[in-house]
Amino acid sequence: MSSFFQGLYGERVKDLRPSPIREMLHLVRRPGIISFAGGMPDPEAFPVELFYQAAGIIKSQGKDVLQYGTTEGYAPLKDFLIQWTAPRMGRKLEHDEMLITAGSSQVSDLLCWALIDKDDLILMEEPSFLGVFLNMHNHGAKFLTVPCDDEGMMVDLIPEKVERAQREGKKVKLCYTIANFHNPLGTTLSLERRRKLIEYAHRYGFAIMEDDPYGYVRFEGEHLPTLFSLDDRGVVIYAGSFSKILAPGTRVGWCCGHKDIIRKMAIFKQGVDVCTSLVAQAMVYEYCRLGHLDSFLPKIIDHYRKKRDAMEDAMRRHLPLEKLHWVKPQGGYFYWVKMDGIDCDRLFQVAVDKQVAFVPGKAFYPNRDGGDQEIRLCYTFASPEQTDQGMRRLGEAMREMIR
């Protein structure tokens, strides 16, 4: 029997796209499966006892933090973030240049509400983070994709792409990028390309959303300046999150930008959720105020560095290296493996039969055109022992495909 709502759905439902990763979770949660599919942090890296200490703020300030909060965010948390992020932002922000959000994913949603009309174009790396481009797609956006190499987005291709779109009467309003430890690529955008991207945004009049959930999780190498700090015209909206530097269950993130766009996003947020959970914001603030963010973050980084190293070692020992290419990430959560002559969908079926899972590359292509011989592997969740066993199984699956 058809649903009562069948005749009531709006136009956007006709082209609604779910997350393929969420849809496949029932497969990878089977007993015995070693999964490199999800992008989840390791619960062993959660600062449980330290965060429990932060819960004391509910007892001491419960009458305030159990109340509705301002949409713009809990002022003490914003004060802390203004100080803490100043080295990355290039300066101390004003309160009206920052909005506290329900994770960094909400930033893209609010930005789309503020900027995107149906069929507007968004520049984006290809491949890219599907959680964001699915949301943008559901807002009615179309994608102008830019291929990537080992240094991230090939930004020199942007002028030709934008100029062609403009000649066709299309509007390119936004560029979405993950400059540090890209999801899914694991790459980092070079300094030269960062400067060129800012230059092109100024020249062609599009905004930039700099999504930086992994930027503080650097294992080695030099911290590169944020796009936000390189921009002197207010075209960049920077998005940060506590999901990777504390725990994703807090659902607390933030964004920084020109006060005008931040104000517009705050007004849309008023209708979306009134405010980010004030209890969560207050506990995160107290955790930070007690010094735990700075003291525990190096432990999180070291924990994931060891897991990255375990996957690198296991990949080199168990996989058919002559058929593969990848970039060793200097931070973040992911490896992106390019395969020569191995179809990722068929490999997925063989691998699942061997009790190991990954995400086929097709899921990360906004226009559904590519990724046939590419896969994403997440190294943060499995133990080093599971990683070794999982890579052995994956190597067996690959060799069967090659034969």
pLDDT of residue 14: 78
Mean pLDDT computed over every residue of the chain: 95
Residue 199 has pLDDT above 70, yes or no: yes
The stretch 259-280 carries a mean pLDDT of 97
pLDDT of residue 2: 64
pLDDT of residue 244: 96
The stretch 370-390 carries a mean pLDDT of 96
pLDDT of residue 6: 83
Strands lying side by side in the sheet with 98-101: 98-101, 253-256, 236-241, 207-211, 172-177, 121-126, 142-149, 152-153
Report the amino acid identity of residue 226.
T
Residue 23 has pLDDT above 60, yes or no: no
CATH numbers and ranges of domains, the chain = 4-47+295-402 (3.90.1150.10), 49-292 (3.40.640.10)
7 against 47, higher pLDDT: 47
Closest by alpha carbon to 198, among 242, 241, 153, 253? 153
Residue 352 has pLDDT above 80, yes or no: yes
User: What's the pLDDT band for 9 if we cut at 50, 70, 90?
Assistant: confident
CB of 124 closer than 8 Å to CB of 142 = no
**Tokens 């395969």 sit at which residue?**
339
Residue 17 has pLDDT above 80, yes or no: no
Residue 209's Cβ-side half-sphere holds a number of Cα atoms within 13 Å equal to 32
Read off φ and ψ for residue 145, nearest 5 degrees.
-95, 150
CB of 126 closer than 8 Å to CB of 175 = no
Lowest mean pLDDT of 16-20, 157-161, 199-203, 304-308, name the range: 16-20
Percent of the chain with pLDDT over 70: 97
Residue 320 and residue 398: Cα distance in Å, rounded? Answer: 7
The stretch 309-334 carries a mean pLDDT of 97
Residue 3 has pLDDT above 80, yes or no: no
pLDDT of residue 135: 93
- Report how far Cα 298 is from the mean position of its chain's Cα atoms: 20
The stretch 182-189 carries a mean pLDDT of 97
98-137 pLDDT, tens digit each: 999 998 999 999 999 999 999 999 999 999 999 999 999 9
Residue 371 has pLDDT above 70, yes or no: yes
Residue 28 has pLDDT above 60, yes or no: no
pLDDT of residue 25: 64
pLDDT of residue 5: 86
Residue 24 has pLDDT above 70, yes or no: no
CB of 98 closer than 8 Å to CB of 256 = yes
Residue 30 has pLDDT above 80, yes or no: no
This model's pTM is above 0.75: yes
302-319 pLDDT, tens digit each: 999 999 999 999 999 999
Residue 192 and residue 211: Cα distance in Å, rounded? Answer: 18
Residue 1 has pLDDT above 60, yes or no: no
19 against 327, higher pLDDT: 327
Residue 360 and residue 372: Cα distance in Å, rounded? Answer: 8
